[in-house]
């Protein structure tokens, strides 16, 4: 009888374990209501090291409208997805050093949803306010993170979102939010400088010839003028037209990988086969584990009709309709909020994979060199005045395990790192080095 009971218990344990492929990690996932009808999805991965002491780090993917779960499974999360949809442990997950909170935002992204059509973000100010409400609700649910060291990280269009959020948090001056620093990976921050950088990057990497170089010089000059005169719609059309010319003019670049110039784009539009996360998150048992409604996301068929958003659709990694709602901010200069963030004592760390075309390192070098802010570390506690301090700062070698892994420059609480042999998604291409980078960021070495 006793052996029979033991056998039954073993069966129960095996069944319960097989239902949760995420076992082995201390996690929490679900929808958090921030206002009636507005629910934001989050996935908290507690630290593998010191969960009760390590900082809280938010990760935001770009788009806008791309789910942060893509990064969780393909970049810096605790698992990677095998072909059979089983999971493999990632030893270089960022929760090795922090409690990492992946959030689907703005509303309508991933599993986040709203029943209020007018609550979909159409600009970064609205996005930042909604995210602030989410963090407040999250801290109410998890008071252990109040006043804990807090960091915001992300990539791509998060270069627009993160400065808006950090600036907004600083204005709110909520003492429960102990914002220490932000990190922007391969970010879209200052289009007036980053658009022309496509020509420079393409030319120096021999992606274009001399004729195309001249055409692009003129075309991006027009792009800059339209941005400077705030003709947003015309600027977007002109700038995007020249961008597409830069990857298609003169030669056949039908398989051009926008996110890594070393590779072919075998799975457009993202170029990588990331179907695993779509298949995994489509499973009813996984959705049940995550506490989500499989029909809580966005209908991609009507990109300009906010009333169609959120109607009976399955989870998708990126939502073009959410992106379309925010196109008015595409050419905005978010380095203004970077300056505000720096001048309020919050660190800003910018990093770029050197093989990325989409948000290439040349563009990031250009905009970081043009941020004028009050540098406060001139010795003896004296402020140095307002200047673009990064402009003339020399690069230093970044060495990991005895090998040169990149180069960086740092002035006070502002730093820029170029990561060698990495594309748009640095943690995916350089997992070990990105974890080293992440730990240095948390320690304010970057």
CA distance 273 to 4: 47
CA distance 261 to 203: 13
Q: The tokens 């069944």 sit on which residue?
A: 15
Helix (H) or strand (E) run with residue 60 in it: strand 56-60
Q: Are β-strands 56-60 and 79-81 bridged in parallel, bridged antiparallel, or unpaired?
A: unpaired
Single out the catalytic residue among 354, 356, 412, 429.
356
Tell me, letter by letter, the H, E, C secondary structure of 195-229: HHHHHHHHHHCCCCCHHHHHHHHHHHHHHHHHHHC
Please confirm, yes or no, whether 168 is among the known catalytic residues.
Answer: no
CA distance 275 to 318: 12
Radius of gyration in angstroms for the set of CA atoms belonging to the chain, rounded to a whole number: 22
CA distance 409 to 403: 18
Single out the catalytic residue among 104, 424, 429, 434.
424
* Structure-block tokens of residue 211: 């004729």
CA distance 294 to 284: 8
In terms of phi and psi (left: phi > 0; alpha: psi -120 to 50; beta: otherwise), the region of 382 is: beta
Dihedral sign, CA of 70, 57, 194, 400?
A: negative
Q: The tokens 């709602």 sit on which residue?
A: 325
Q: Give which of 371, 369, 359 is closest to 419, Cα–Cα.
A: 359
- Dihedral angle over CA of 303, 306, 310, 316, nearest 10: 30
Decide if 39 contacts 112 (C-beta within 8 A): yes
Single out the catalytic residue among 156, 246, 364, 415.
156
Please confirm, yes or no, whether 278 is among the known catalytic residues.
Answer: no
Cβ burial 66-86 (10 Å sphere, 16+ → b, else e): bbbbbbbbbbbbbbbbeeeee
CA distance 274 to 278: 7
Please confirm, yes or no, whether 266 is among the known catalytic residues.
Answer: no
Q: The tokens 């989500």 sit on which residue?
A: 292
Residues classed as catalytic: 156, 356, 424
């Amino acid at each position: 009888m006793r052996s029979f009971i033991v056998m039954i218990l073993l069966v129960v344990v095996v069944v319960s374990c097989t239902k949760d492929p995420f076992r082995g990690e201390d996690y929490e996932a679900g929808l958090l209501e921030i206002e009636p009808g507005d629910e934001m999805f989050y996935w908290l991965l507690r630290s593998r090291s010191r969960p009760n002491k390590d900082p809280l780090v938010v990760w935001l993917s770009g788009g806008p409208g791309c789910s942060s779960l893509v990064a969780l499974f393909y970049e810096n999360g605790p698992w990677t997805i095998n072909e059979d949809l089983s999971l493999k442990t990632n030893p270089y997950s960022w929760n090795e050093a922090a409690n990492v909170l992946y959030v689907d935002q703005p509303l309508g992204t991933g599993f986040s949803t709203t029943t209020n059509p007018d609550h979909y973000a159409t600009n970064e100010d609205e996005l930042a306010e909604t995210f602030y409400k989410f963090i407040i609700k999250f801290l109410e649910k998890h008071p252990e993170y109040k006043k804990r060291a807090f960091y915001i990280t992300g990539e791509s269009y998060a270069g627009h979102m993160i400065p808006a959020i950090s600036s907004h948090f600083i204005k709110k001056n909520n003492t429960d939010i102990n914002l220490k620093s932000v990190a922007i990976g391969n970010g879209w921050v200052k289009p007036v400088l980053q658009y022309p950088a496509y020509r420079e990057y393409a030319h120096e990497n021999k992606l274009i010839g001399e004729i195309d170089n001249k055409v692009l010089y003129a075309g991006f000059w027009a792009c800059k003028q339209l941005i400077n005169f705030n003709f947003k719609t015309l600027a977007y059309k002109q700038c995007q037209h020249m961008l597409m010319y830069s990857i298609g003019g003169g030669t056949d670049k039908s398989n051009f990988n926008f996110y890594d110039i070393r590779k072919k784009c075998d799975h457009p539009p993202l170029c990588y086969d990331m179907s695993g996360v779509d298949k995994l998150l489509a499973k009813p048992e996984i959705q049940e584990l995550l506490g989500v409604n499989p029909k809580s996301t966005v209908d991609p068929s009507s990109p300009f009709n906010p009333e169609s958003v959120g109607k009976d659709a399955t989870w998708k990694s990126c939502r073009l309709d959410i992106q379309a709602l925010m196109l008015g901010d595409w050419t905005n200069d978010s380095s203004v909020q970077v300056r505000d963030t720096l001048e309020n004592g919050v660190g800003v760390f910018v990093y770029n994979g050197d093989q990325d075309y989409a948000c290439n390192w040349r563009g990031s070098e250009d905009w970081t060199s043009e941020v004028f802010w009050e540098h406060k570390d001139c010795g003896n506690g004296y402020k140095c005045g307002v200047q673009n301090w990064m402009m003339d700062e020399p690069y230093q070698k970044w060495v990991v395990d005895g090998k040169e892994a990149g180069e960086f420059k740092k002035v006070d609480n502002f730093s820029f790192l170029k990561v060698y042999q990495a594309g748009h998604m640095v943690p995916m291409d350089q997992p070990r080095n990105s974890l080293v980078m992440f730990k240095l960021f948390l320690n304010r070495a970057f």
